[in-house]
């Protein structure tokens, strides 16, 4: 994978175009209830939105909440509680960032995902998360 800076794992190509991170998450990923680090956004990037494709519905009995963020294991400033209906197989597009995810990133930033549930535990659930961003390559 090409990166813009030696020693970084952030994905950044040298073209003037929108970039993206894409990763898969399931209800049973190790550590998902506490938050799992997935990929890294480069310093200077501006997040333009996040899409979530629920391809297998999450089926905990009472609540199913999938969140994403760069605010550590809180993981909710890119996709917050209520932004996605985890119980319906569907694509939710253009979820706008909030808080610290709304500004140009000061440093490489880990993207975290979290799934919380209540009631009888889920036996299924998976989604693809697509984070769209513009890197700072106006050098």
| pLDDT score, position 7 | 56
Residues 14, 124: Cα–Cα separation, whole Å: 39
Q: Are 31 and 116 in contact (CB under 8 A)?
A: no
Q: What is the mean pLDDT of residues 9-36?
A: 88
46-104 pLDDT, tens per residue? 999 999 999 999 999 999 999 999 999 999 999 999 999 999 999 999 999 999 999 99
Higher pLDDT among residues 137 and 11, named by residue: 137
What CATH number is given for 19-134 in this structure?
A: 2.60.120
How far CA 51 is from CA of 76, 86, 132, 139, in Å, comes to 14, 13, 8, 29
Which residue has tokens 């808080």? 99
Where does the pLDDT of residue 10 fall: very low under 50, low under 70, confident under 90, or very high at 90 and above? confident
Q: 96, exposed or middle or buried, with CB in 10 Å at 0-12, 13-18, 19+?
A: middle
With a cut of 80, say whether residue 8 has pLDDT above it.
no
By residue count, the chain amounts to 139
Q: 17, exposed or middle or buried, with CB in 10 Å at 0-12, 13-18, 19+?
A: exposed
With a cut of 90, say whether residue 139 has pLDDT above it.
no
- The ranges assigned to domains in the chain are 19-134
pTM exceeds cut of 0.95:
no
With a cut of 50, say whether residue 127 has pLDDT above it.
yes
């Amino acid at each position: 994978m090409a990166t813009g800076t030696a020693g970084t794992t952030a994905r950044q190509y040298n073209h003037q175009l929108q970039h993206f991170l894409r990763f898969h998450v399931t209800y049973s990923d190790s550590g998902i209830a506490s938050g799992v680090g997935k990929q890294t956004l480069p310093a200077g990037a501006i997040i333009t939105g996040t899409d979530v494709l629920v391809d297998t519905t999450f089926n905990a009995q009472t609540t199913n909440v999938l969140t994403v963020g760069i605010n550590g294991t809180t993981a909710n400033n890119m996709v917050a509680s209520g932004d996605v209906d985890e119980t319906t197989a569907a694509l939710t597009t253009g979820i706008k960032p909030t808080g610290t995810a709304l500004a140009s990133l000061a440093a490489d930033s880990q993207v975290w995902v979290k799934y919380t549930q209540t009631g009888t535990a889920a036996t299924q659930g998976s989604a693809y998360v697509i984070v769209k961003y513009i890197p700072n390559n106006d050098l």
